[in-house]
Structure formats: C-alpha cells, structure tokens
Amino acid sequence: MSAKASEPVATVIESPRSQKEKDSIQVVEFVLGNENFAIDLFDVKEVVEYTTITKLPNVPAYVRGIIDLRGEITMIIDLKHRMNITEESTKSLEASRIIVLDDQIAKSKLGILVDDVTSVSTFDAPQVDYTSSVNQEDSAIIGIIKRKVKVKDKEKNELIIWIGLKRLLADIDASV
C-alpha cells in the first residue's frame, strides 16, 4: 500500500459569511462641499470633533496645521483643498470633523478635515462601479458607489465617490 493512498484529501469550503465579506465593502461616508465621499473603514482610527488647529509655516497649502490629540501631535490635511473642491459647506468650520487615520496609512500621525461625517456603511460589490472612476494612474478615485434613496416617495440613485487615501496622500509624507 502506498503512502499516497492513505493521505486524507482536503477540500476547502467557504462559509457564506466569508464569501459575503469578499463581496462587500465597509466605508466611512463624509461630505466635502456638496458631494458625498467614502473611504475604507479600516483606514480610519477615529472621528473627532473640530478643534483649534495650529498653523505651520512653510508647508503645502493643503496642510491645515497640527493639533494635540490626547498628547499626540497630529497633522491635519484639508481634504477639500487637497482635492481641489471649491464648493463651500453650508456648515460652519466648527461643525466640521477630523477623521484620524490608521497608523498604517501614513508615516506620521495624520488626520483629514472634512465638512461632515455622515455614516459608516456596508455596500455590496454590485453597488460599486469601478469603470466610471477616473482612469488616470494618479487618480485617488477607486470607484463610484450607487445607493438608492427615497426622496418624497420617489426612488433615485445617490452617488458616493470612493477614494483611496494611500494614493491621495502618497506625496504628503515626502513633502512634509
């Protein structure tokens, strides 16, 4: 009898849960100007209320400054300025939020200033359109998320721009 005949045969069966996780994305939704954006949930450490930002000299214009976040100096990037979004928010600056990024995203403690954080959401893969995103290599747009919403008893599609922070912020570590 050969050794191969007695070896067990292994088969991998994916559980429905692990398959579902592959077919969905989790994002943090936020507003810049009048548009809805999203970033990967796992790129976010926490969301904090606006606090006074200390300006730094000789930094790129999109670097808003620094804050002291529980004893740690955190650099704040004005995401609206970084992405050349010119629409003004209807809310005051004090109503804006700072999304503190996970340490894996940047070499230093980093937060992004946004007009408002609206929710944490899970979307199924068919809701994401990758083909309509900008096809430039330097684009930070991963895809467009389509969500159906009801407005006055009518259903309409709401579009959310899903951005990749690693590509968007790649030059920041080098410039600061």
pLDDT tens per residue, range 3-45 = 444 444 443 333 343 334 458 999 999 999 989 999 999 999 9
State pLDDT tens for residues 35-77: 999 999 999 999 999 999 999 999 999 999 999 999 999 999 9
Enter the DSSP assignment of 96: -
Question: CATH homologous superfamily for 24-120+165-175?
Answer: CheA-289, Domain 4 (2.40.50.180)
* One-character DSSP codes across 39-73: EEGGGEEEEEE----B--SSS-TTEEEEEEETTEE
